[in-house]
Structure 1
Amino acid sequence: MAEEPAGVIQILRTQKAKLIEILSADADFVLQHADSRSLLSRSGYQQVKACHIPSEKVRDLLDNVIQRGPKAAQGLLELLKDQALQETFPMLSYVKDLQVNTLSSETLKRTKSAPGLQETIPSKRICNNGSHLVTEKQLMTVACAIGRSWREIGRQALDIRSVKLEEIEEDHSLHKERVFAMLRHWRNTQREKATATYLHSLLSQNDWALTSESIDFLLETD
C-alpha cells in the first residue's frame, strides 16, 4: 500500500540527514537511478549533476524530489527500497520498515469537512511557537521591497546556494518575479520554520537597504 501523500514527504524530511550520510557513498549511482525513474525535472537533474560534493549532491537531489511533491517523493521512497539500492547501500535496509506517522486518513477526512482547514494540514500554517507561516501574499510584498541586493540577501541571509540563485535568474526575467521565486524557495526549504517573524529576523540582521517599515508588517498578527 502506498503511503499517505503528506506522510511520504514527511518521511523523507525526517530521514534526510541519515539518507545523505548513507547515499553520499555513491551519489552518482543514486542520481542515475532517480533520473531513470523521472523523479527529477530536467533543470533539477542538471543542477544536481553539476554538484561535485557527494553530500551536497544527495542533499540537492532530496530537496528537488521533495519540492516536486508527493508523487515524486513516493517514487524516491520506492527507489530506496529497490533491490539495487538495498544491495549497494546495506544501511538502507531500515527504510523498508519506515511507517508513516502523520495524520491518518480518517483525520484528514474530518479536516476536509471543516471550512478553511483543508490547506492547513499539510503545510502546518501554525507552528509550535504560535507564529504563522509566511504567506505568498507576504512574500510578494517583501519581494517588492527588495532591490538590487537580492542575490546577497539570498546567499547571506537566506542561505540559498549560488547555483539556485542563478537558476532562478535564468527562469525569471522580471526582478520582482526573481525575488519572489527566491523567497518562495526559501519558504519551501524551511518548511515549518518559515514563519513571518523568522523571515523578519533574517532580513533585519544586516543593512540590506531595507527600511523597517517595508518588513515590519511581518510581525503583525491576524
Structure 2
Amino acid sequence: MAEKPTGEIQLLRSLKIKLISILSADADYVLQCADSHFLLSRRGYQQVKAASVSSEKVRDLLDHVIERGPEAAQGLLELLKDNEMQNTFPLLAFLKDTQLPAGKETAVKRKETTESEDSPPPKKICQNSPDLVTERQLMLVARTIGRSWKEIGRLALSVPSVKLEQIEEDCPNNHVERVFAMLRYWCACMRENATAAHLHSLLSQGDWALSSESIDFLLKKS
C-alpha cells in the first residue's frame, strides 16, 4: 500500500490550481526565489525555466518541489508566507491562516524528532529582515548592472571566474537573470553579512561603481 503523503505535500497538491493562478503573474520571480532557497535541483531548475508559458512554469515548479519530498514542500510553503513574497503577491495572504491537512507525518515534526530542542535554527539566506538584502532588492540591482557584470562580479563581489562562466552558461539568453544569479551567489557566500548596506558599499566604489541613483534604495529602511 502506498504511503499517505505528508501534510505539506497534500496542501501543495490541493492548492495547485489556486497557486498557479496567483504566481503566474511573475513566474520568473517565483522561480528565482525558489532556486535561491535551494528548493530545486539544478536539472529541475533548467526544466522549469525552459517552460515558455508562465502558468506552465509555475505548474512545473510545483510538481518538481512536490516530487522532491516533504522538506522541499515545507520550504516552498514557508517561502510563500514570507513577507517579501506576500507583498509581491497579495493574494497569497490566505496562506497565513491555512492549516496543514492530517498527513502521515509533517517535515516539521520529523525534524523535531531528529534535532535537539536546544539546537539553533539553520541560517536562512537572503530572508526578509531589517538587515539582510531581500530577493526584490537583488532583482532591482540586477536590472541596473550592464555588460560589465563579470568585472563587477570579480572585483566588487569576489565571485570566482569559474562561477561566472557557469552562470553565463546556465543563463545564456537573459542578462538580468544571470546578474541576479551572480548576486544570489554572493548572498549565499556572505550569509549573515549579505546586508543591503554592505552590497551598496561594494557597488559604489572603484572603477566599477554604479550610479548612486540606481542603488541608493539599498540604504532606505523598509
> Shared fold by TM > 0.5?
no
